[in-house]
């Protein structure tokens, strides 16, 4: 065979490296263009066309490498010089690449997951080498330890923040049992997520608790009160753990209770044979998907009649929380999709549960809580605002809703919600 006719086949590793480099180069170019657009907008907004330009370009800051999900990406941030006196404090700062940024947000989510997965600080570089290369100097054990210490400080400050000016209309509460072990194997992570008056979901509390006991929850709730959270939520959503409900009744007695349908369905189906679970699931859905409380009662009774004689444990599990399962009918219909389950917490912790396991060495309480705090903090930025948030004012004022509709029959328009 002639040499000119021989086609060189690249090794899979070479092809992969080439693809990674192409992606990295594209990311670098896209990032550079975005930063240039930031500079142009800043100059146009702050320089007057009728006088000498106050702000002018002045080269670039030293190149630095940002660690991202595709490896290191070299960036150069333009330098902007202020020829005025700078008395008003106006200066250019890239929102894409803040001054001290060394790693992307995805890295700030990835590092806590490595901790929860049981990887020690000394093993971080080895674990990340296939993704970030051997030159990821800012991920050395010393840097990771300092980063961990900073996070622990952030968690402590966050846990002592003043809540006197805050009000949360709805709460979601749950006790999270992670595969990663804490020093006390009986401990779990107690989490509360709240909805503000503006409809934003926020992490309200993250604390360690002993088997979701009433005492643990009560300590958490008292701490919230001591930090200024005097106003009780109108509705709290949680599973069947008696510890939380007992503590809530004692600390915030006026709050309505809503049992989580996701947990309740799982508990009921566990008490039925597999042959019955498909049909039972449909019947349970007909209860919480009913348009009115009256229709829900009918579907509820039908389920009891169908399974009570043969599977009394399943029907008793459902029957005992009947009114708490249907409390959502007294709140705006636009909110039902949010308040029937503890999904805001469940979806956030799904990734954590799947990516952790019982390591040989347990973690300190502070380490677990800090890493969970950082993961929740990152997830919070992606949470969707409460649908129909404009109705929260009515809920706060105590206006009654029947089957999701205001009792006077008025219904705010979609345009009013958008305008708000």
Q: Which pair of structure tokens corresponds to residue 53? A: 């330009």
pLDDT, one tens digit per residue, over 102-128 is 555 555 556 666 665 556 666 666 656
From 150, 157, 127, select the one nearest 140 (Cα to Cα): 127
Reported as a single tens digit per residue, the pLDDT across 341-367 is 998 888 777 655 544 444 444 567 787
User: pLDDT value at position 378?
Assistant: 76
Q: Is the pLDDT of residue 340 over 50?
A: yes
User: For the segment 128-169, what is each residue's pLDDT rounded down to a tens digit?
Assistant: 655 555 545 556 666 677 777 888 899 999 999 999 999 999
Lowest-pLDDT range, 224-228, 277-281, 321-325, 380-384?
A: 380-384
Query: What pTM does this model have?
Result: 0.69
* Paired strand residues for 73: 66
Provide the pLDDT for residue 172.
96
- C-alpha to C-alpha distance for 269 and 316, rounded to whole angstroms: 12
Q: Mention every residue, 6+ apart, whose C-beta is less than 8 A from residue 124.
A: 111, 114, 139, 141, 144
- Beta-bridged to residue 176, according to DSSP, are 189
H-type alpha helices, 2-101: 12-46
Whole-number pLDDT of residue 348:
76
Distance from C-alpha of 362 to C-alpha of 233, rounded to nearest angstrom? 36
Give ∠ CA 408-410-414 in degrees, rounded to 5. Answer: 160
Percent of the chain with pLDDT over 70: 70
> Model confidence at 64, in pLDDT bands (50, 70, 90)?
confident
**Closest by Cα among 237, 280, 259, 227 to 386:** 237
pLDDT reported for residue 400 = 94
Mean pLDDT confidence for 56-81: 75
Backbone angles phi, psi at 205, to 5 degrees: -155, 145
* pLDDT tens track for 254-285: 999 999 999 999 999 999 999 999 999 999 99
Q: Which residue has the tokens 């390591």?
A: 359
Residue 309: how many other CB atoms lie within 10 Å: 9
pLDDT in tens, 181-213: 555 555 788 999 999 999 999 999 999 888 788
Stretch 45-66: mean pLDDT:
81
**Who has greater pLDDT, 192 or 26?**
192
Share of residues in the chain with pLDDT > 90 (%): 44
* 368: CB partners within 8 A, 6+ apart: 116, 178, 180, 182, 189, 208
**Bridge partners (DSSP) listed for residue 206:** 191
Q: Left (φ > 0), alpha (ψ -120 to 50) or beta: where does 365 sit?
A: alpha
Mean pLDDT lowest among 168-182, 214-228, 284-298, 355-369: 355-369
Give the mean model confidence (pLDDT) for residues 380-405: 92
């Amino acid at each position: 065979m002639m040499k000119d006719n021989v086609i060189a086949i690249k090794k899979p590793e070479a092809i992969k490296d080439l693809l990674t480099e192409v992606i990295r180069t594209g990311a670098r170019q896209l990032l550079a263009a975005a930063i240039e657009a930031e500079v142009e907008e800043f100059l146009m907004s702050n320089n007057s066309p009728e006088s000498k330009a106050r702000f002018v370009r002045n080269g670039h800051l030293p190149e630095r490498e940002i660690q991202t999900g595709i490896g290191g990406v070299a960036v150069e941030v333009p330098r902007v010089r202020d020829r005025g006196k700078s008395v008003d404090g106006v200066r250019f700062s890239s929102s894409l690449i803040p001054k001290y940024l060394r790693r992307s947000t995805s890295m700030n989510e990835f590092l806590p997951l490595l901790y929860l997965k049981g990887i020690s600080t000394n093993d971080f570089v080895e674990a990340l080498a296939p993704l970030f290369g051997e030159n990821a100097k800012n991920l050395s054990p010393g840097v990771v330890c300092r980063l961990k210490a900073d996070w622990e400080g952030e968690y402590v400050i966050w846990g002592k923040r003043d809540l006197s000016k805050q009000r949360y209309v709805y709460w979601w509460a749950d006790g999270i049992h992670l595969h990663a072990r804490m020093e006390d194997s009986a401990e779990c992570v107690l989490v509360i997520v709240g909805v503000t008056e503006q409809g934003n979901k926020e992490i309200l509390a993250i604390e360690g608790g002993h088997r979701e006991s009433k005492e643990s929850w009560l300590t958490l709730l008292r701490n919230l009160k001591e930090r200024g959270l005097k106003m009780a939520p109108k509705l709290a959503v949680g599973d069947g753990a008696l510890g939380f409900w007992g503590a809530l009744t004692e600390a915030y007695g006026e709050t309505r209770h809503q049992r989580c349908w996701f947990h309740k369905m799982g508990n009921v189906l566990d008490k039925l044979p597999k042959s019955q679970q498909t049909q039972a699931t449909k019947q349970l859905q007909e209860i919480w998907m009913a348009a009115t409380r009256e229709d829900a009662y009918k579907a509820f009774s039908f389920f009891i009649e169908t399974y009570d004689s043969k599977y009394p444990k399943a029907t008793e599990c459902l029957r005992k929380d009947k009114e708490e399962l249907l409390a959502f009918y007294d709140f705006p219909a636009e909110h039902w999709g949010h308040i029937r389950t503890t999904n805001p917490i469940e979806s956030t912790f799904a990734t954590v549960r799947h990516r952790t396991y019982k390591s040989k060495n347990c973690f300190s309480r502070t380490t677990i809580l800090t890493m969970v705090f950082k993961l929740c903090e990152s997830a919070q930025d992606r949470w969707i605002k409460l649908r129909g948030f404009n109705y929260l004012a009515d809920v706060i004022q105590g206006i009654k809703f029947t089957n999701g509709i205001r009792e006077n029959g008025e219904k705010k328009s979609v345009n009013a919600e958008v305008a708000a």
